Chain A
Amino acid sequence: MSTDSRFVHKIWQEQELSKMVDGGVPFPMLSDAGGKIGALYGVYDEAAGVDIRGRFIIDPDFVIRAMEVLTPEVGRNPDELIRQIKAFQHVRATGEVTPSGWQPGQPTLKPGPALVGRVWEIWKP
């Protein structure tokens, strides 16, 4: 989503994105003309009149699970995005929690009195 019109999105897809991603990006390219939606999500820069780099993970219950906001100069890391989604999916499916830097397949934590002071025995990053 950006403050560009749907027409600009179409030309960007056809002229540039389709040359970087086979078939172009498959998801909807949304137009936030006026920045009203970006303002609600805390990413609208009023001085520049654009939405800055904000990324939100929303779960199947429509609850926001994660947000990351960057000033425009630095691009995002899709690997970290996917890691976070997998971690939230794991938590949702199992009720376990994932320690710092967790990757799928690694040990998770089961919170409770027995774990207090003993995380170091399970998780050695």
Chain B
Amino acid sequence: MPELKEGCVKPARGPIIPAEATAGAPSGAASTQEVRKMLARVGQEAIDFEANAFVAGVGFKPVKLSDYKGKWIVLCFYPGDFTFV
């Protein structure tokens, strides 16, 4: 069966954790446990990820934060589309 170009569910990699950040975890520990822990710190390297995205003029595509390495990046989180503020 040919792969659908744009299915309802399309997994993206999500967080891409460097090996040293998980080195202390017991071997075989589910990465989801690690993932819940905040790792972002000022002065430290940003945590890479891949997320599905909508890009104006392009359409749907997966975007990796590290695609923008070498540029100044602003990463913004917000509670939801169509919210008021």
Contacts of A85 in B (CB 8 A): 72, 74
**Footprint of A on B, CB under 8 Å?**
12, 14-15, 17, 32, 35-47, 49, 51-56, 60-61, 63, 65-66, 68-83, 85
Q: A6 vs B56: C-alpha distance in the bound complex, in angstroms? A: 11
- Asked if B40 and A67 make an inter-chain contact with CB atoms under 8 angstroms apart, the answer reads yes
Q: Do the beta carbons of A2 and B78 come within 8 Å of each other? A: yes
Beyond A57-B72, A64-B45, is A40–B80 a contact (Cβ under 8 Å)? no
Given A32-B51, A63-B44, the answer on whether A55 and B74 have CB atoms closer than 8 Å is yes
**Which single residue of chain B is at the shortest CB-CB distance from A9?**
B54
A-B contacts counted at CB < 8 A amount to 164
Q: List, in ascending order, chain B residues with CB within 8 A of A7's CB.
A: 54
A30 to B48, CA, bound (A): 13
Please determine whether B45 and A1 come into contact, CB atoms closer than 8 angstroms.
no
User: How far is B42's CA from A66's CA once the two chains are assembled, in angstroms?
Assistant: 6
Selected from B54, B74, B82, the residue in CB contact (under 8 A) with A56 is: B74
- A76 CA to B36 CA in the complex, in Å? 25
* Contacts from A to B (Cβ < 8 Å): 1-13, 16, 23-26, 28-34, 36-43, 45, 48, 50-67, 72-76, 81, 85, 88-89
A41 x B82 contact (CB < 8 A): no
Asked whether A30 lies within 8 Å of B53 as measured between CB atoms, the reply is yes
User: Chain A residues with Cβ under 8 A from B83's Cβ?
Assistant: 72
Closest to A30 in B: B51
Q: How far is the CB of B31 from chain A (nearest CB, A)?
A: 9
Tell me, in angstroms, the Cα distance from A9 to B43 when the chains sit together. 31
Q: Are B69 and A62 in contact (CB under 8 A)?
A: yes
B41, B46, B54: which contacts A6 (Cβ < 8 A)?
Answer: B54
Sample of 6 further A-B pairs with CB below 8 A, known A30-B53, A41-B40, A42-B40 = A31-B53, A39-B38, A40-B17, A61-B45, A63-B44, A65-B43
A64 B42 Cβ-Cβ under 8 A: yes
Closest residue of chain A to B85 (Cβ to Cβ) is A75
B51:A12 contact, CB within 8 angstroms: no
